[in-house]
Amino acid sequence: MNHHDKLALPVGTTLDRFIMRKQEDFPYATGELSQLLRDIALAAKIVNREINRSGLIDIAGAYGNRNVQGEDQQKLDVIANIRFIRALRNGGEVCTIISEEDEEVIQTGNVQGKYIVAIDPLDGSSNIDVNVSIGTIFSIYRRVSPTGSEGTMADCLQSGTHQVAAGYVIYGSSTMLVYTTGNGVNGFTYEPSLGEFFLSHPNIQSPKSGTVYSLNEGSSASFSPGVTDYVAYCKEQGYSARYIGSLVADFHRNLLKGGIYIYPPTQKSPKGKLRLMYECNPLAFIVEQAGGKASNGRMRTMEIEPKDMHDRCPLFIGSVDLVNKAEEFLAKEFAEAK
C-alpha cells in the first residue's frame, strides 16, 4: 500500500451496493425486493434518529394508549410504526402490511405491489427509557393473490417457509441491520457521520453450540416440567444466564456468540408471549440461514401454519445443539404427559 492509499482507506461496502450486487440471487430479480430492502433501511435510519433524540425531547414514555396485545404503547412505538408504514407505502412494492401495533391489516393502496410485510416496528420498547438496546423485526412474503387488487388474509397468513427475506435492526451501542434473502445472513453497521449502513458482519455463521441460556427465570414457577428440567441441565453444565428482555438484543448476542433463547409457555401466557408472524418466523429464517435452529418445542417454527395474524407461539431458538437438547427434554415431558 503506497503513502496516498494510506491517507484514504476504503470505507467498505454500503448496504445499497451490496443489495445491488446480490440482486441476481433473488428468484424474481426485477429490483423490487432490492428497493423494498432499501425502503426498510431508510425507515431504520429515521427511527434510529428518533431513538437517539428521545432522551432530549418528549417522545419516550407511555402514549396513554394500548396496542392490540393490551400492552401500554410507548410513544416511540407509535413513531416507529408510522415511519415504517410510511416508507413501505411510499416505496410502492408492498401491497399489504401487518404490524404488531395494528389490530387490522394495513392496505397500502399499491395494488400492483408484489410483497407483503409483517413488522414489529419497535421490539423491547419497555426498555426505551432506560437506554437498553431495542430493535425492529421484519419479514417479507411474496403475495399469493393476483396483483391488481388489495392483499388478502391468505397473503398475510403464509407459513414462515414462504418468506423471501427477513431481518432485524438493533439500536444499541451501534445500530446494525441484519438480514437474509435465503442466501446466508449478512450484518451491516450504521455509520452515522456518513448516514450509511456498511457491511461489517459478512456471512454470519452461528456457533453450533454455546454456553448461554436466555429466558425469564422470574416465571420459573409456571414452567412446564420439560423446560424446568432443561434449565436445571443448563445450570449443571455451568452455562451463563443472559437475559436482556429485548428479544432482538438477546437473539443477536446468541446468534453471534452461541446460545439459546427461550420464551416458553407459562400460566400467564400458555402459548408463549411472542408473535409467530412478527417475531418468531423472521428470526427463525435468520437463525436457520446462519446454521442454527428454531422450534416451538415440538416442531420447526417456520412450518407452523398461522391461523391469525397475531398468533403467539413458544420459541426455542439459537445454536442447533442447544435447541436439540431442549427438544429432548420436552419430548420426554410430552411422552410422560400421554
What burial letters (b/e) apply to 289-316, b meaning 16+ CB within 10 Å?
bbbbbbbbbeeebbebebeebbbbbbbb
Q: Are strands 115-123 and 94-99 parallel, antiparallel or unpaired?
A: parallel
> Residue 103 annotated as binding?
no
> Residue 123 annotated as binding?
yes
What span, in angstroms and rounded, lies between the C-alpha atoms of 32 and 19? 11
> Residue 243 annotated as binding?
yes
Determine the 3-state secondary structure of 89 from DSSP. Answer: helix
> Residue 292 annotated as binding?
no
Sign of CA dihedral 104, 108, 109, 112: negative
What span, in angstroms and rounded, lies between the C-alpha atoms of 110 and 132? 36
> Residue 100 annotated as binding?
yes
What span, in angstroms and rounded, lies between the C-alpha atoms of 252 and 130? 19
Burial of 201 (0-12, 13-18, 19+ CB in 10 A): middle
Amino acid letter, 280: C
Burial of 2 (0-12, 13-18, 19+ CB in 10 A): exposed
Task: Give the residue ranges of DSSP H helices in the chain.
Answer: 3-7, 15-22, 32-53, 75-91, 153-156, 225-236, 247-257, 281-289, 320-337
The C-alpha cell that represents 210 in the structure block: 454455546
> Residue 308 annotated as binding?
no
Which residue is it, cell 400492483?
Answer: 112
Helix-, strand-, coil-residue percentages of the chain, each rounded to 5: 40, 25, 35
Determine the 3-state secondary structure of 197 from DSSP. Answer: strand
> Residue 122 annotated as binding?
yes
What span, in angstroms and rounded, lies between the C-alpha atoms of 56 and 248? 24
Write out the binding residues for Mg(2+).
100, 120, 122-123, 279
Write out the binding residues for substrate.
123-126, 216, 243, 273
Write out the binding residues.
100, 120, 122-126, 216, 243, 273, 279
